[in-house]
Structure formats: structure tokens, C-alpha cells
């Protein structure tokens, strides 16, 4: 049965799609990154225009599930995982499904009062755009270095599974929208944003590789930061909703 399913997955339509995407790997990944940038501003635009609604939130999550779940999974499958027949499609499927589950959990808890992570200025699990960025990190590095080992399905499959698990985990991650800049570092923050934007234009794959790696390395610090806030709250010491640090690009 699995053999037949695999044949269906690699039928003429998928083969044609693979041929088309194979010549435009960078463009395909770039569209995912553009979707991430737009996802960061669509909520603010809706609030600015007073166009917020529950329907809009659900539609946004549907678009996110496609942009940061289905699309990265399909790209990784065609780029690498298809050469690992029995487990490659499972890793891709996990990435797509777990991104949808992460978004469903977020929507289900929108109106919940008891959200310790949110009240402290944190998110529960890695957000879908960041999860997609982490899953695509081997491709970023491959665009940069052209190192063949980065395309190995034996590397890409477990990495995609790890990114999927981080999205549905209970790990406390910083919510960038909750962070507030201290006045004495606002100029430095603006300068940092300009530098990152310039780097993204001149060396895009170097830049997104560095950002994804920095985000991954920051996860232990966000966990420790939430643990500290939790201890302070338990002892009755007032805490701010989120740390005052510059936003990450």
C-alpha cells in the first residue's frame, strides 16, 4: 500500500511541479520569506484600519498554514526528502500538519483568560513563520555554500521534524510584538534594523542564515527568561510584561 501511495505522490503532476520548482529554488524560498514579512504587518494594518474580526483571524491562520506549513514542506520534499521514500514524505507531512496544529492551538486560546505565557509577554512554542524559517535553514545554508551534504535527506528529514516539534511544543518563546524599546536604545535599534535590511539586500542568504541561527540559539535564553519571570511572579515581585530589548529582524 505504501508503495502505491508513493507512486501516487510522485505522479506526473508532482513530477512536473518538481521540474518547475527545481529551477527556481531561491524564488520559491523567497516567497515564503516575503510571506513572513507580510505576516508581521498584516495585524497592525488591520488594527490601523479598524478592520479586526474573528473571521479575519481565522483567514489569517489559514493563509499562515499554507505559507509556513504546506509550502515549506512541499519545497523541502521536492528539494531533498523525495529521495528518502519511506520517511521523507512523513517528515514533510509532519511539518505541514504540525504548523496547522500550532495555528489551531493559537486560535483556540485567543479568548482564553488563563494563558501564563501570553500574560508574561511570551508565546507558547515557536511561531509558524519562525518554524518555517528554521525548517528551511538547510536550504539557506545550501544557497550560501553549495555544500552537497546540506541537501542530504538524512540531515533534512530530522531537521524538519525538529522544526515541526518546536512549533507544537510548550516552550516559552519571546513575543516580539510584546517587547518595548527603552528610550536610550531606540537609535541603536533603528541602526540595527537598517544594517540588517542592507545585509538582506546585498547578501540575502547569509543574512537569513544568520537570523535563523540566532533565533535558534536564543531559545534557551527565552526559556530561562520566562522561568525567571515565573519565579518573580510566584514571589510577588512585580514584573514587566516582556523584556525591553531591540526587536529581531
Task: Compute the mean pLDDT over every residue in the chain, rounded to the nearest whole number.
Answer: 82
Whether 241 is covered by a domain: the verdict is no
Task: Give the residue among 3, 175, 37 at the shortest CA–CA distance from 106.
Answer: 175
Q: With cut-offs at 50, 70 and 90, classify the pLDDT of residue 232.
A: confident
**Rounded distance between C-alpha atoms, residue 167 and residue 9, angstroms:** 25
86 found inside a domain: yes
What pLDDT score was predicted for residue 18?
Answer: 59
- Assess contact for 205 and 143: CB atoms under 8 A: yes
Residue 55 vs residue 4, higher pLDDT: 55
Count of domains observed in the chain:
1
pLDDT cut 70: percent of the chain above it: 77
- Calpha distance 237→230 (Å, rounded): 10
Asked, for residue 247, whether it belongs to a domain, the answer is no
> Do residues 161 and 91 touch, judged by C-beta distance below 8 A?
yes
- Is residue 248 included in any domain, yes or no? no
Whole-model pTM? 0.81
Residue 233: the pLDDT is 76
190: its cell numbers: 533603528
- 174 forms beta bridges with 122
DSSP 24: -
Q: Is residue 239 part of a domain?
A: no
**How high is the pLDDT of residue 236?**
67
Separation of alpha carbons 85 and 81, rounded Å: 8
pLDDT band at 190 (very low <50, low <70, confident <90, very high): confident
What's the pLDDT score for residue 14?
54
Number of Cα atoms under 13 Å in the Cβ half of residue 231: 6
How long a stretch of residues is the chain? 249
Does residue 84 lie within any of the structural domains?
yes
All three cell numbers of 8: 501516487
Is residue 240 assigned to a domain?
Answer: no
pLDDT digits over 24-67, tens only?
A: 899 999 999 999 999 888 877 878 887 777 787 888 889 999 99
Instruction: Say what the pLDDT of residue 113 is.
Output: 58
Determine the angle formed by the axes of helices 25-48 and 128-135, rounding to 10 degrees: 170
Neighbouring C-beta atoms of residue 231, cutoff 10 Å: 11
- Burial of 90 (C-beta count, 10 Å sphere; 0-12/13-18/19+): middle
Decide: 121 and 241 in contact? Cβ < 8 Å. yes
Enclosing domain of residue 227: 2-109+118-234
Q: Is residue 245 part of a domain?
A: no
* pLDDT over threshold 70, residue 209: yes
pLDDT on residue 177 = 67
Look up residue 111 and give its three cell numbers: 479568548
140/133 Cα distance (integer angstroms):
9
Q: What is the pLDDT of residues 119-164, one digit of tens each?
A: 667 888 999 999 999 999 999 999 999 999 999 999 999 999 999 9
Amino acid at each position: 500500500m505504501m508503495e502505491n501511495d508513493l507512486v501516487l505522490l510522485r505522479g506526473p503532476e508532482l513530477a512536473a511541479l518538481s521540474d518547475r520548482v527545481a529551477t527556481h529554488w531561491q524564488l520559491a524560498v523567497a516567497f515564503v520569506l516575503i510571506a513572513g514579512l507580510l505576516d508581521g504587518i498584516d495585524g497592525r494594518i488591520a488594527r490601523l484600519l479598524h478592520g479586526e474580526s474573528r473571521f479575519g483571524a481565522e483567514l489569517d491562520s489559514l493563509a499562515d498554514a499554507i505559507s509556513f506549513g504546506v509550502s515549506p514542506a512541499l519545497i523541502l520534499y521536492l528539494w531533498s526528502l523525495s529521495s528518502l521514500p519511506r520517511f521523507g514524505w512523513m517528515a514533510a507531512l509532519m511539518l505541514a500538519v504540525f504548523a496547522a496544529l500550532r495555528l489551531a492551538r493559537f486560535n483556540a486560546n485567543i479568548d482564553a483568560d488563563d494563558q501564563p505565557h501570553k500574560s508574561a509577554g511570551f508565546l507558547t512554542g515557536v511561531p509558524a513563520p519562525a518554524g518555517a524559517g528554521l525548517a528551511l535553514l538547510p536550504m539557506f545554508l545550501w544557497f550560501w555554500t553549495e555544500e552537497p551534504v546540506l541537501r542530504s535527506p538524512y540531515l533534512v528529514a530530522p531537521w524538519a521534524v525538529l522544526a515541526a516539534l518546536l512549533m507544537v511544543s510548550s516552550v516559552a518563546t519571546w513575543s516580539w510584538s510584546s517587547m518595548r524599546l527603552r528610550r536610550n536604545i531606540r537609535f541603536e535599534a533603528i541602526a540595527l534594523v537598517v544594517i540588517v535590511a542592507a545585509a538582506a539586500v546585498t547578501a540575502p542568504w547569509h543574512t537569513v542564515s544568520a537570523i535563523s541561527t540566532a533565533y535558534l540559539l536564543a531559545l534557551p535564553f527565552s526559556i530561562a527568561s520566562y522561568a525567571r519571570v515565573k519565579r518573580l511572579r510566584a514571589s510577588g515581585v512585580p514584573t514587566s510584561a516582556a523584556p525591553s530589548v531591540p526587536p529581531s529582524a
